[in-house]
Amino acid sequence: MKRLAVYCGSATPKDPCYMELARAVGEGLALRGIGVVYGGGRLGLMGAVAKGALDAGGEVIGIIPEALASSEVANHDCTQLHTVSGMHERKQRFTDLSDGFITIPGGVGTMDELWEAISWAQLGYHDNPVGLLNAFGFFDHLLAFNRHMAEVGFIRPAHQGIMIADETLDGLLDRMERYQPHTPIFQMTAANL
């Protein structure tokens, strides 16, 4: 994995542990020689991920929509900063430039990016690992809901291993390195669907 898209919040929560986590993720990726592709913002967890990676000498590629770039939240310290027309193009660029995806705590936009990465993997638009860093138990309920969807039958057995979760960055990256792509829906027969 040469580059990973990092999905996270642009907010700064009251508890500083989230900002510390984001900075440590950026730094940890850089120290492993893994470039960061992220939302291009300088605020909140996004900015902390970028700063952590840049301070450790890593590559940081920001992808920011025009509407956000013009509102003075763009991080011009990035190795590269790409301005795109909107969110759809932004997420396509994340996929095109990355060898996988890591989601750390965030809100609605972060969840949108995570679920789209999983959905695109199920369909076959990419075959890269989708990681979820469950630090502080932040995603415990989401992981339980994902298991529930699988138990009910809304996630096919072939796709139940797409989301890779771990409580530590090192553990998550090790598991992502070992990820074996699944059979995407585009390659399945009607009998398997």
pLDDT, tens digit (0-9, with 9 covering 90-100), for 111-135 = 999 999 999 999 999 999 999 999 9
Domain count, the chain: 1
Q: Would you state the pLDDT for residue 80?
A: 97
Q: Would you state the pLDDT for residue 117?
A: 97
Q: Would you state the pLDDT for residue 62?
A: 98
Q: Would you state the pLDDT for residue 189?
A: 78
Residue indicated by tokens 């890779």: 164
pLDDT bin (cut points 50, 70, 90) of residue 44 is: very high
Mean pLDDT across 157-162: 95
C-alpha R_g of the chain: 16
* pTM exceeds 0.75, yes or no: yes
In what order do the strands lie in the sheet containing 3-7? 80-84, 60-65, 35-38, 3-7, 101-103, 130-133, 163-166
Tokens encoding 49: 């991920």
**CATH, residue 87:** 3.40.50.450
Residue 33: what are its φ and ψ, rounded to 5°? Answer: 80, 20
Q: HSE of 153 in the Cβ direction (CA atoms, 13 Å)?
A: 2
| CA neighbor of 121 nearest in space, from 87, 162, 166 | 162
Q: Which residues pair with 61 in a beta bridge?
A: 37, 80
Mean pLDDT across 35-53: 97
User: Residue 191 pLDDT > 90, yes or no?
Assistant: no
Averaged confidence pLDDT in the chain? 96
Residue 135 belongs to domain spanning: 3-192
Cβ distance 82 to 64 under 8 Å? Answer: yes
Q: Would you state the pLDDT for residue 123?
A: 94
Distance CA 105, CA 139 (A): 8
| CA neighbor of 78 nearest in space, from 36, 43, 113 | 36
pLDDT of 50-61, one tens digit each? 999 999 999 999
Distance CA 29, CA 53 (A): 7
pLDDT bin (cut points 50, 70, 90) of residue 71 is: confident
Tokens encoding 108: 């609605």
Q: What is the DSSP string of 149-172?
A: HHHHTSS-GGGTTSEEEESSHHHH
Q: Would you state the pLDDT for residue 59?
A: 98
Q: Which residues pair with 65 in a beta bridge?
A: 84
Mean pLDDT across 180-189: 87
